[in-house]
Amino acid sequence: MNKQKFIEDSLLESSELKKEILKKCESEIINAVDAITIMFKRGNKLLLIGNGGSAADCQHIATELMIRLSHHIQRPALPAIALTTDTSNLTAGGNDIGYENVFARNVEGLGSEGDILLAISTSGNSPNILKAIEKAKSKNIFVIGLSGETGGKMAGICDIIIKVPSQNIQRIQEGHLTIEHIICELVEMELYSN
């Protein structure tokens, strides 16, 4: 294996995907920023769900919103909760009601009408994500989805779906993180830059 070529190909693929995201996802990203900004202005909260690397993204983005992303913007905390972090809750749910229900149960308990659920799934087909989206919709919670290029089953049930145009899981996750940072930064600027 030529390691140098692998590194070069990976970086080029990643950078080319960012250009495709700009072409194919820009309006959905703007719509997500607008929805989240309005939601925070109303005093509601953002709930975030995902599995594996997407779960880590949830923690990362909830932290950026609660603490801050841009150090030049002094602002209060924004209410964002990663539903991926409570091991007692997740393991009890997995054991007692089935892992496919753990996020739906938390949306049921913590979500309120007017909140937004940010659901992250590279395939768009994760059963626990789909059940949580269904629960959110039953509570009049707006849903923003981040997925790969097909959107999977999420595509038909999210209010906004941002489909990263790739089938490579690593590249999709890199695209998600870039989009998440853009959303956080723009929300901060919309709310607190004058």
Q: Is the dihedral of CA 105, 147, 159, 18 positive or negative?
A: positive
What would you report as the CA-atom Rg of the chain, rounded to the nearest whole angstrom? 17
Confidence band for 194, pLDDT divided at 50, 70 and 90: low
Q: What number is the average pLDDT over the span 146-166?
A: 97
Amino acid at 11: L
Tens-place pLDDT, residues 38-94:
999 999 999 999 999 999 999 999 999 999 998 899 999 999 999 999 999 999 999
The CATH architecture annotation of domain 14-191 reads: 3-Layer(aba) Sandwich (3.40)
CB atoms within 10 A of CB 124: 25
Q: What number is the average pLDDT over the span 122-147?
A: 98
Mean pLDDT of the chain: 97
Q: Where are the domains of the chain?
A: 14-191
Share of the chain above pLDDT 90, in %: 97
Predicted confidence at residue 1, as pLDDT, reads: 82
